Amino acid sequence: MMLTQPIGLPDASEIHAEQLVIHADFPLASHHRLVRELESLRITVSQELDLPVSDEIVHLYLFHDTKSYSEYAAVHFPQFPTRRAFFVETDTSLAVFAPWQDRIAEDLRHETTHGYVHAVVPNIPLWLDEGLAEFFEVPRVTGGLHAEHLANLTGRLLEGTWQPDLERLERTKNAGDLTQDHYAEAWAWSYLMLRTTPERRTALEDFLRDLRKDAHTPPLSLRLSRINPSSHKDLVEHLQNLNIHSEK
Ligand SMILES: [Zn+2]
């Protein structure tokens, strides 16, 4: 009787890139443009969020195709929602799993952001964790502007089928419950804080800094409403303005 071996971790090539150790089940060049990009993302994340850089290793496990990735994930992480790629934090390690496919650059920027952020803010709320990963997953030249989410949210606003609600987002604690709307809204709040006023940026940076010391620090919804009680209205207007300019 033939027994099929369960798929193991990729180990054909191993690349060390600052905080990253990249394991692939195919030959991957250490000077690959994506490797260099992920390396520089470490500094970008740290500067944008005013966070220290960490030396805690983030492991990236890359599979040559979606089939082997899915088989690995089904055996080792059956409880995880099915995603194109994913990030896992355990007591002992930070790890990303992804197959090499068309959107690999975007997926690795997203998942590696989780790694860099978790290395210094392990108790970041789920929604913000995803909002920041969406912010940093787009190519750097876009400055965090996620065209797909912007088009989606402004379309929904026009239809009258969506309104932002940061408190609602903060109550979402389960990764499996996250829909595209949650990802899009989480990106929108992240973008608002990082790309509009110094007060909002400071609110985000202070929140992350406080969170590193105290997991029960007041939430961002409260901090943003102290700056301006109409932050939901501001977000809607900002998205509509961005959309007008991006359509030109
Ligand atoms: Zn994510």
Residue-level pLDDT, tens digit, the chain, 248 residues: 445 566 789 999 999 999 999 999 999 999 999 999 999 999 999 999 999 999 999 999 999 999 999 999 999 999 888 889 999 998 889 999 999 999 999 999 999 999 999 999 999 999 999 999 999 999 999 999 999 999 999 999 999 999 999 999 999 999 889 999 999 999 999 999 999 999 999 999 999 999 999 999 999 999 999 999 999 999 999 999 998 887 65
DSSP codes of every residue in 148-195: HHHHHHHHHHHHT-----HHHHHH---GGG--HHHHHHHHHHHHHHHH
Q: Which one-letter amino acid corresponds to residue 70?
A: S
Note residues around ion ligand 1 (Cβ under 5 angstroms).
130, 133
Q: What is the second-level CATH architecture of the domain 13-122?
A: 3-Layer(aba) Sandwich (3.40)
- Listed in sequence order, the residues at least 6 apart from 109 whose beta carbon sits closer than 8 Å to its beta carbon are 37, 38, 41, 136, 137, 138
DSSP 80: S
| Domain spans in the chain, listed from the N-terminal domain onward | 13-122, 140-247
Distance CA 175, CA 127 (A): 9
Q: How far is the CA of 20 from the centre of ligand 1 (A)?
A: 17
Q: How far is the CA of 129 from the centre of ligand 1 (A)?
A: 7
- The tokens describing 108, both together, are 């690795």
Q: How far is the CA of 11 from the centre of ligand 1 (A)?
A: 24
- The tokens describing 50, both together, are 């005013």
Q: How far is the CA of 133 from the centre of ligand 1 (A)?
A: 6
Q: How far is the CA of 130 from the centre of ligand 1 (A)?
A: 5
Q: How far is the CA of 116 from the centre of ligand 1 (A)?
A: 12
Q: How far is the CA of 237 from the centre of ligand 1 (A)?
A: 26
